[in-house]
Amino acid sequence: MKQTFEPFPEAMWLTAVQVATVWTNPESARTIDVSGTGNPTDIDDWIAGLTYETNLALCDENRVQTQLLYGEPVLIIATQGDWAHVVIPSQPSSKDTRGYPGWVPLNQLTKVKKKNWISDTTAVIMDDKVWLENEVGERQMKLSFMTLLPIEEIVGDRVQVKTPHGKRYLPRNQVNIFPSKIGMEQGSGRDIVQSAAAFIGLDYFWGGMSAFGYDCSGLAYAAYKANGYKIARDAGDQATKGKAVAYDHLQLGDLLFFAYEEGKGALHHVGIYADEGKMIHAPQTGKGVERLTIKGTIYEKERCAVRRYVS
């Protein structure tokens, strides 16, 4: 997967917080969500402060759509007060051909010149979470797995990167460096499984697209992104692309889809096939990412499709 900046104008907007949550509308965010809607954000504090009920309401009350990582570019298509209606070209969606749509607080975005942002090489965070540092090594912001930032230069054991806040530094041993025009090297199905397995135990978070919490399709998206593949953001869209595969021909990394009414109703879940009848998935609010044996569970009855993105 490579970053493309073709959809963006010369003056482009970037995500300027560690994780920006993309809301259904400006009224979706609640007072209890202030740690996730300000600038800076404190995603750890926000999630820790949610009860099971207020966490579940993000889904049940259709409040959250997806999330953005630090430095991720967006297109602003409208504004309303302190909010921006955006589309996210890096997150394909059938909801909008330009990218995933939703609303973000304007204070979580910043404008830069595209020509000043683009670099020949890009750094992508490969660890769970990594601290962004200033020149003297002071911690500035805790960033998530799969945050991508353009490289200014490599300085000893640190990488100087461009950020929405100017030049900052990342540890060289916690990032992968790749040519921006070519993109990340594509991994195998086993690599995809390993990327997902790193998050076993992480609490589910509706709309989650970061190492602070994933939802089912967000985990699949991130595991594929980590291995050079750009897939759709939502499970419903993921199930319409790739190659259809029969259940008796499963391979590591295949995406397994599940639907209500014993597989005949609405599609509601996706997992990553992890061999020997198991899958890695982010189940639901209140549970963590797990490696599950499918046989004998509700998922055995609800399976409805398999898609392969790895050739």
- Count of C-beta atoms within a 10 Å radius of residue 297: 11
Give the orientation angle of helix 189-197 with respect to helix 216-225, to 10 degrees. 130
Say whether 281 is catalytic: yes
Q: Which two tokens mark 49?
A: 């402060």
H-run or E-run covering 166:
strand 166-171
Is-cis flag, bond preceding 92, omega within 30? no
d(CA 229, CA 139): 31
Q: Across-strand partners of 143?
A: 130
Which segments of the chain does DSSP mark as H helices, in order?
34-37, 43-48, 52-60, 114-117, 189-197, 216-225, 235-238, 298-302
Which listed residue (85, 165, 249, 269) is catalytic? 269
Which listed residue (59, 249, 268, 281) is catalytic? 281
Q: Which two tokens mark 8?
A: 């963006």
Say whether 85 is catalytic: no
d(CA 278, CA 132): 36
H-run or E-run covering 150:
strand 148-155
Q: What is the dihedral of CA 145, 150, 155, 157, to 10 degrees?
A: 10
Which runs of E-coded beta strand occur in 24-136?
64-69, 73-80, 83-88, 100-105, 109-113, 121-125, 129-133
Say whether 216 is catalytic: yes
Which listed residue (165, 216, 268, 304) is catalytic? 216
Beta-carbon contacts of residue 195 (< 8 Å; ≥ 6 apart) = 187, 222, 223, 226, 227
Active site residues: 216, 269, 281
